[in-house]
């Protein structure tokens, strides 16, 4: 899972911490929860599930830290920097406790799973620790804490998908939303902590996904991202985890729903909604998915396709289940079947034993693909991962830094080139919010996920607008709306 694009390009080591909040009126006597989320889109989506579960238990969300009876931090373990940020926040919350001794502090998510004992025993800076599969237990855990006991539940589940929980849309623009379709991951990439913090892969019942989509459509949402650690391996057959599929009955196998079929169902059911999905895994992405993308105009022409390295030796050491050549073949297929598709990458610089020629392979792969965006990081060893156990982190810091800078420089060059291609063209933009730089302009995204900024005129958030691109930076397209009148300006539905 990746972070928001604008920070990833400017500063590949930046860490995206945002406060999720709900503007809900709270009445006297009600308890209030303040939720802060860090890391990937999956975490932000999980926070919406947590808010929903706690609202059933009588908690309203608040954006005022000092009003809160309960402070929850939804954490990320993907990089060391992420964990350091969270520790600093937890220390800051101790200050809140001084003024309000009754406030309880809890850690949710991947870091909770990874550091459960440290949080409670050594540090005493939190009252409850809840892993990603135990959110339904939150009301009981909060009651335990209120009774003066420590509360921990980090048990990983093979079944829990939260398919029966309607998320509370936090800090929502009312236009775009995430819908989780899988949880966990079975791809044991050696650098990654996710299988250990989020457990094995399981898929959610397609019926519950379609129901959640209906709710969003009724509420006027215009774009939905289907979310999973690895959406392409989505597989529903009414049973348990994907790895048990071989044991399923012939009928279950015959009526199973694969990712391309789910995508087809969702796109057909909601022609007026743009559909995105993330994250794709190269070895699991089938040509069927590409053909479904080509079939439906409301499925965005954009694929986030992490590769991590362009070197076969490094890919093998990472336990990525694809080679450089297979990845390039997939890229060729994307360009053939979905010609104007935006493609973004995740890249790790300085993986153990990476040579200069491995690094050159990464740069040459980037030249081959010409990515629209990228999420680029220096390798940081994550405790508990196979790489940490078996490989020495032996690339000097300054070499990692230089390699990362070369990757970032190339990505910026490609992003600029890609954006230049849009100049003079008219693109469909979904307005999401006011531009950060000017309150006279709207900001939205093209199907390819590129940000476009243009004058507001008479348009509103949630409108699909045709915009002619007049100029660009390496991150943003600038343009002017073209008014075709009410009949043609809406391509969907």
The secondary structure of 128-177 as a DSSP string is EEE-TT-GGGHHHHHHHHHTT--EEE----SS---TT-----TT--SSEE
Residues 6 or more apart whose CB falls under 8 angstroms from that of 486 comprise: none
The secondary structure of 401-457 as a DSSP string is HHHHHHHHHHHHHHHHHHHHTTTT-EEEEEEEEE-SS-TTEEEEE-TT--EEEEE-T
What are the tokens at 362? 């990464």
pLDDT tens for each residue of 423-441: 999 999 999 999 999 999 9
Identify the helix (H) or strand (E) that includes residue 36.
Answer: strand 31-38
What are the tokens at 25? 């009126």
Per the CB < 8 A criterion, the answer to whether 472 and 428 are in contact is: no
pLDDT tens for each residue of 385-433: 999 999 999 999 999 999 999 999 999 999 999 999 999 999 999 999 9
Residues 6 or more apart whose CB falls under 8 angstroms from that of 150 comprise: 120, 127, 128, 144
Note the pLDDT of residue 115.
Answer: 79
Cβ-based neighbour number of residue 213 at 10 Å: 21
Q: Could you give the CA distance from residue 365 to residue 378 in angstroms, rounded to a whole number? A: 18
The crossing angle, in degrees rounded to 10, of helices 41-56 and 138-146 is 70
Per the CB < 8 A criterion, the answer to whether 274 and 223 are in contact is: yes
Residue extents of the structural domains in the chain: 5-153, 176-418, 426-481
**Torsion angle, alpha carbons of 402, 408, 409, 411, to 10:** 150
CATH of segment(s) 176-418: 3.80.30.20
CATH of segment(s) 426-481: 2.40.50.140
For the four alpha carbons of 450, 455, 461 and 467, in that order, the dihedral sign comes to negative
> Can 176-418 and 426-481 be said to share one CATH topology?
no
Q: Could you give the CA distance from residue 245 to residue 186 in angstroms, rounded to a whole number? A: 13
The crossing angle, in degrees rounded to 10, of helices 324-337 and 356-369 is 10
% helix / strand / coil in the chain, to the nearest 5? 40, 20, 40
Note the pLDDT of residue 150.
Answer: 81
Per-residue pLDDT of the chain (493 residues; tens, 9 = 90+): 333 322 233 232 333 333 333 333 434 458 999 999 988 888 889 999 999 999 998 999 999 988 999 999 998 877 777 788 888 898 888 888 888 888 999 999 888 877 777 776 666 788 899 998 899 999 999 999 888 888 888 888 888 888 888 888 887 889 999 999 999 999 999 999 888 888 889 999 999 999 999 999 999 999 999 999 999 999 999 877 777 888 888 888 888 999 999 999 999 999 999 999 999 999 999 999 999 999 999 999 999 999 999 999 999 999 999 999 999 999 999 999 999 999 999 999 999 999 999 999 999 999 999 999 999 999 999 888 999 999 999 999 999 999 999 999 999 999 999 999 999 999 999 999 999 999 999 999 999 999 999 999 999 999 999 999 999 998 999 999 998 654 344 444 3
Per the CB < 8 A criterion, the answer to whether 444 and 431 are in contact is: yes
CATH class given for the domain over 5-153: alpha beta
Q: Could you give the CA distance from residue 9 to residue 108 in angstroms, rounded to a whole number? A: 28
Give the strand pairing for 441-445 and 451-455. antiparallel
């Amino acid at each position: 899972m990746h972070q928001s694009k604008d920070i990833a390009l400017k500063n590949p080591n930046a860490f995206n911490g945002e406060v999720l909040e709900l503007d809900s009126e709270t009445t006297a006597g009600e308890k209030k929860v303040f939720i802060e989320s860090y890391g990937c889109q999956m975490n932000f989506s999980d926070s919406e599930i947590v808010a929903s579960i706690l609202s059933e238990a009588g908690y309203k969300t608040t954006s005022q830290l000092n009003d809160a009876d309960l402070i929850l931090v939804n954490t990320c373990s993907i990089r060391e920097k992420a964990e350091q940020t969270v520790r600093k926040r937890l220390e800051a919350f101790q200050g809140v406790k001084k003024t309000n001794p009754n406030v309880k502090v809890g850690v949710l998510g991947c870091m909770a799973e990874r550091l459960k004992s440290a949080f409670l025993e050594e540090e005493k800076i939190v009252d409850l620790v809840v892993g990603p599969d135990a959110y339904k237990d939150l009301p009981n855990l909060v009651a335990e804490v209120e009774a003066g006991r420590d509360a921990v539940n980090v048990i990983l589940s093979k079944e829990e998908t939260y398919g029966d929980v309607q998320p509370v849309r936090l800090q929502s623009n009312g236009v775009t939303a995430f819908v989780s379709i899988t949880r966990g991951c079975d791809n044991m990439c050696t650098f990654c902590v996710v299988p250990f913090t989020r457990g094995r892969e399981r898929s959610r019942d397609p019926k519950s996904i379609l129901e959640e989509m209906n709710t969003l459509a009724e509420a006027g949402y215009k774009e939905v991202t289907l979310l999973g650690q690895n959406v392409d391996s989505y597989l529903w057959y009414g049973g348990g985890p994907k790895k048990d599929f071989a044991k399923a009955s012939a009928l279950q196998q015959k009526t199973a729903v694969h990712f391309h079929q789910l995508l087809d169902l969702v796109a057909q059911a909601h022609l007026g909604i743009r559909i995105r999905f993330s994250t794709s895994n190269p070895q699991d992405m089938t040509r069927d998915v590409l053909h479904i993308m080509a079939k439906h105009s409301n499925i965005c022409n954009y694929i986030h396709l992490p590769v991590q390295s362009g070197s076969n030796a490094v890919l093998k050491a990472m336990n990525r289940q694809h080679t450089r050549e297979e990845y390039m073949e997939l890229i060729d297929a994307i360009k053939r079947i979905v010609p104007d598709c935006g493609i973004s990458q995740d890249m790790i610089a300085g993986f153990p034993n990476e040579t200069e020629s491995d690094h050159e392979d990464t740069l040459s792969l980037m030249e081959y693909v010409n990515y629209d965006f990228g999420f680029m990081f220096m390798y940081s060893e994550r405790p508990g991962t196979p790489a940490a156990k078996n490989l020495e982190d032996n690339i000097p810091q300054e070499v990692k830094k230089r390699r990362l800078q070369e990757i970032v420089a190339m990505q910026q060059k490609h992003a600029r080139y890609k954006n230049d291609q849009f100049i003079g063209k008219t693109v469909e933009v979904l307005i999401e919010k006011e531009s950060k730089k000017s309150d006279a302009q709207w900001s939205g995204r093209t199907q390819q996920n590129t940000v476009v900024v243009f004058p507001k005129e008479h348009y509103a958030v949630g409108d699909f607008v045709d915009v002619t691109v007049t100029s660009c930076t390496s991150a943003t397209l600038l343009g002017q709306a073209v008014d075709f009148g009410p009949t043609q300006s809406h391509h969907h539905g």
